[in-house]
Chain A
Amino acid sequence: MALLKVTNLKVWFHTRNGVVKAVDDVSFSVDAGQTLGIVGESGSGKSVCCYSLVDLIPKPPGKIEGGTALFNGEDLLTCSAQRMGEIRGNDIAVIFQDPMTCLNPYLTVGEQLIEPLLYHRGIKRPEARLQAIDILNEVGITNPERRFNSYPHELSGGMRQRVMIAMALIAEPKLIICDEPTTALDVTIQAQILKLLRELQQKRQVAVIFITHDLAVVSEVANDVLVMKNGKVVERGTTAELFANPKEEYTQKLIAAIPSGVKPLTESVPKATPLLEVNHLRTWFRDYSVGLFSSAALKLERNIKAVDDVSLTIQRREILGVVGESGSGKSTLGRAILGLAPRTAGQIIYDGQDITQYSARQMKPLRRKMQMIFQDPYASLNPRMTIFETLAEPLLVHGLANRKTVTAQVLELMDDVGLARAYIRKYPHEFSGGQRQRIAIGRAIATKPEFIVADEPVSALDVTIQAQILDLILELVNKHNLTMMFISHDLGVVRYIADRVLVLHRGKVEEQGITEELWAAPQADYTKKLLGAIPRFANAGM
């Protein structure tokens, strides 16, 4: 008998704008020791589906409309609140996506860790502490006695996620629900966490439900896969079968949308004309925890070297990919080049002019030519401006349009980025993430720039949307002869879009080279580690 058997689960949200069928007639089962992957894009209902099993959805507006979820023969959907408390503390654990926000910042790690033991097993504190230290050790936290008394903010993202895993394991549950447990983490940390989860699962024979949008991750961890879209199951099957031979069109589209392969080399790159040259650029920030009266040498040593001696050149019409993990300084590098972050030392030559010491007034004519696209299309658009206002503003500010021509120019821009003309008077909140990023791109190319810094432009987007936006960027680069610095933590994306790649680690350049050469034969150890950590399809030979 399956450990968990969900039949015809229906979860609806009764909102002011009508009923949203978040989960609509979903059935699946999981056996002990097995992993079920649930894949889908945002809004597919994959998380709601699992949270409703352990009564973690907001009610109201959420309501379970039908179905059963038999866990060891007991229906989770109808059991009492008290019984659910016992089940959550003893049998089913959840690992959430974002370890930064899912641990209580006011309590020590140890205190949060031993809570299931204190409140469900009646174990006394000293003994619970020993068990917690054991389990911290098991999930690979060094110096667990000390970490037991740490607060969450003293730990890195990867360590916090290990703590979350330890917290899930400490009550020895039979089923663990993992909701995007590695999405917020860097690729090397992700590889470690996935390995850890696999080992622990085999050792303890627990069942795992692994929710993710990342197909490659699922192919690494799951035995069976369930593909969801708009609350319904699209396709199910064993992992090997489903990836080798996807039957449904949506599944095929999902798999195809993963950026794969390399950009064909643009043959027409004239070698001799670099558009941008950066020499020995440094951006250091003061560490304000160093006392005011400390010696100058200590202050210097404790400076945060976000960008440390970086040199690079970008040829005209070239896309330079900048990859690195969080904290590698890749965003600061992009901002410092545009003058949006301070520069401590170094030289920036743009189109033959040394712009390092330019004043704001001298920069103004160049601002038009140098633009930026930001990561989060939700935060970077002014919510009180219509698309028309957003796109017209840069045109008017830089005197590229007058009152008469501006509407026509904005419509042209909207055509360029693939937005329907009818949307011109709408506000950002009326658009999806992908559409918003199109608006943001439209704003960046409005002034007919030569050079664009794109800072993680697709990482907030779903995989199918991501593919569309990447293709849009490539199309625009060709059409408008753009030169681009493309910053991303996602190596697949960079490989897909960039002509050359620069690998950044702790503010320093580890390696740079033609994309495909670097992939084929990475020189630096760090690059090798980074490339080795990418999850690959077990069978599809990516």
Chain B
Amino acid sequence: MLKFFFTRLLQAIPVLLVVITVTFFLVRLAPGGPFDAEKAVPPEVLKALEANYRLDLPVWQQYTSYVGDLVTGDFGPSFRYPGRSVNELIMAGLPASAELGLYALLVALVIGTLAGIIASLRPNTAQDYIPMSTAMIGICMPSFLLGPLLVLVFGIWLDWLPISGWGDMPGDKILPSITMGAGYAAYIARLSRGGMLEVLSQDYIRTARAKGLPERVIIFKHALRGGLIPVIAFLGPAFAGLLSGSFVVETIFQIPGLGRFFVQAAFNRDYTMIMGTTVFFAFLIVLFNLLSDVIAVWINPRLRHQAQGGH
């Protein structure tokens, strides 16, 4: 298992390197620069700025020195927030985003798998159609629509929950978590329904029935593990996406998270910030994909065996 883990970890290095390289050159290819402003900057100031941020060096030297800094974990200084490093900015936004992501994931997992399992037990009946059409709506509904709707209903009409903020008032974390988790819940519901339906039609489920096992044992002990494998594969990228924050949800609910940095950095041509957020996101994706693979292997005795190097 350890060997499997480390081999996969080594394979992640070239993936990250490709991401870094492609983003590095793409942002520099895009027209405009970090210090373009409506008012012309005096040439000597511009020169000093460029020297300060090493923009006066040839591009390949910028690249090598940037990669060199990255290896030590340094994302460099931000171009638009003078005096602050990209590391600081990310660390400032990460806690709120990570917390929101975690809650959203919990919402998605609990609602999604339950709905999926319930739907799969009686396919093509109301018990299937109702959760599944709700899920379809959930997938189609963008969070900039769902968020304000929830605010309107629960925040204003019913006045049960605060309409914005993060950690300022009790219960203000509920609406953003649901807004962010809903789409994922819908997706997970569809995946787990599909997975469960597939497993429930397997011969070994018939064997379990033939042994006269109670229905709950058949579902939770015999079917669930195999049925949730597609969900686990989906969780890796989903979790990375949730953790790195959402511009829309964070803006609607005024949450000091990471999401806004992604968007602002691109608008501002803040090269190091774009690089920092992209690399950070790529790193999360790689990491959580690896984790979900490890879980998938660990759940499936067949793969577990291969990973341990037996036959």
Q: Which positions in A face B, CB cutoff 8 Å?
A: 54, 56, 84-90, 93-94, 96, 98, 101-107, 112, 115-116, 119-120, 151, 153-154, 164, 167, 171, 287, 289, 291
**Complex: how many Å from CA A105 to CA B305?**
12
Determine whether the beta carbon of B207 is less than 8 Å from that of A106: no
**Min CB distance, B6 to chain A, in Å?**
13
Q: Is B309 an interface residue (CB 8 A)?
A: yes
Determine whether the beta carbon of B207 is less than 8 Å from that of A96: yes
Q: Which of B145-153, B158-166, B296-304 is the interface stretch?
A: B296-304
**Min CB distance, B307 to chain A, in Å?**
10
Determine whether the beta carbon of A89 is less than 8 Å from that of B209: no
Determine whether the beta carbon of A289 is less than 8 Å from that of B212: no
The residue of chain B having its C-beta at the shortest distance from the C-beta of A164 within the complex is B207
Determine whether the beta carbon of A102 is less than 8 Å from that of B212: no
Determine whether the beta carbon of B211 is less than 8 Å from that of A88: yes
Determine whether the beta carbon of A119 is less than 8 Å from that of B309: no
**In the complex, which of the residues A96, A98, A154 contacts B305, with contact meaning CB atoms closer than 8 Å?**
A154
Determine whether the beta carbon of A98 is less than 8 Å from that of B203: yes
Chain B 128-168 interface mask (CB, 8 Å, partner A; 1/0): 00000000000000000000000000000000000000000
**Lowest 9 A-B CB distances belong to which pairs?**
A89-B212, A88-B212, A101-B203, A151-B301, A94-B210, A104-B204, A85-B212, A106-B225, A289-B311
**Complex: how many Å from CA A171 to CA B211?**
9
Determine whether the beta carbon of B206 is less than 8 Å from that of A107: no
Determine whether the beta carbon of B212 is less than 8 Å from that of A120: yes
Collect the chain B residues with CB atoms within 8 Å of residue A153's CB: 301-302, 305
Main secondary structure of the interface of B (DSSP, over half): helix
Q: Is B230 an interface residue (CB 8 A)?
A: no
**Complex: how many Å from CA A103 to CA B225?**
14
Collect the chain B residues with CB atoms within 8 Å of residue A154's CB: 305
The residue of chain B having its C-beta at the shortest distance from the C-beta of A94 within the complex is B210
In B203-224, the 8 Å CB interface with A consists of 203-204, 206-214, 217, 221-222
5 sampled A-B residue pairs with Cβ under 8 A: A56-B209, A56-B210, A84-B212, A89-B213, A96-B210
The count of residues in chain B whose C-beta lies closer than 8 Å to any C-beta of chain A is 26
Q: Is B31 an interface residue (CB 8 A)?
A: no
Determine whether the beta carbon of A56 is less than 8 Å from that of B212: no
Known contacts A96-B203, A96-B206, A96-B207; is-contact A105 B301 (Cβ 8 Å): yes
**Complex: how many Å from CA A154 to CA B214?**
27
**In the complex, which of the residues A85, A94, A98, A105 contacts B302, with contact meaning CB atoms closer than 8 Å?**
A105
Determine whether the beta carbon of A103 is less than 8 Å from that of B204: yes
**Complex: how many Å from CA A115 to CA B221?**
11
Collect the chain B residues with CB atoms within 8 Å of residue A102's CB: 203-204, 206-207
Determine whether the beta carbon of B213 is less than 8 Å from that of A104: no
Determine whether the beta carbon of B305 is less than 8 Å from that of A107: no
Collect the chain A residues with CB atoms within 8 Å of residue B212's CB: 84-90, 116, 119-120
Collect the chain B residues with CB atoms within 8 Å of residue A86's CB: 212
**In the complex, which of the residues A98, A115, A291 contacts B211, with contact meaning CB atoms closer than 8 Å?**
A115
Determine whether the beta carbon of B208 is less than 8 Å from that of A104: yes
Collect the chain A residues with CB atoms within 8 Å of residue B306's CB: 289
Collect the chain B residues with CB atoms within 8 Å of residue A88's CB: 209-212
Collect the chain A residues with CB atoms within 8 Å of residue B299's CB: 106
Q: Is B202 an interface residue (CB 8 A)?
A: yes
**Complex: how many Å from CA A98 to CA B211?**
16
The residue of chain A having its C-beta at the shortest distance from the C-beta of B225 within the complex is A106
**Min CB distance, A49 to chain B, in Å?**
15
**Complex: how many Å from CA A487 to CA B310?**
32
Determine whether the beta carbon of B213 is less than 8 Å from that of A115: yes
Q: Is B226 an interface residue (CB 8 A)?
A: yes
In B116-136, the 8 Å CB interface with A consists of none
Determine whether the beta carbon of A104 is less than 8 Å from that of B310: no
The residue of chain B having its C-beta at the shortest distance from the C-beta of A302 within the complex is B311
**Complex: how many Å from CA A344 to CA B309?**
25
Collect the chain B residues with CB atoms within 8 Å of residue A105's CB: 204, 226, 300-302
**Complex: how many Å from CA A54 to CA B212?**
10
Determine whether the beta carbon of B213 is less than 8 Å from that of A119: yes
**Complex: how many Å from CA A119 to CA B214?**
8
The residue of chain B having its C-beta at the shortest distance from the C-beta of A58 within the complex is B201
Known contacts A56-B210, A119-B213, A289-B310; is-contact A104 B222 (Cβ 8 Å): yes
Determine whether the beta carbon of B217 is less than 8 Å from that of A119: yes
16 extra interchain contacts, Cβ-Cβ under 8 A, other than A88-B210, A106-B222? A84-B212, A85-B213, A88-B212, A89-B213, A94-B207, A96-B207, A101-B203, A101-B204, A104-B222, A107-B221, A115-B211, A116-B212, A153-B301, A153-B305, A289-B306, A291-B309
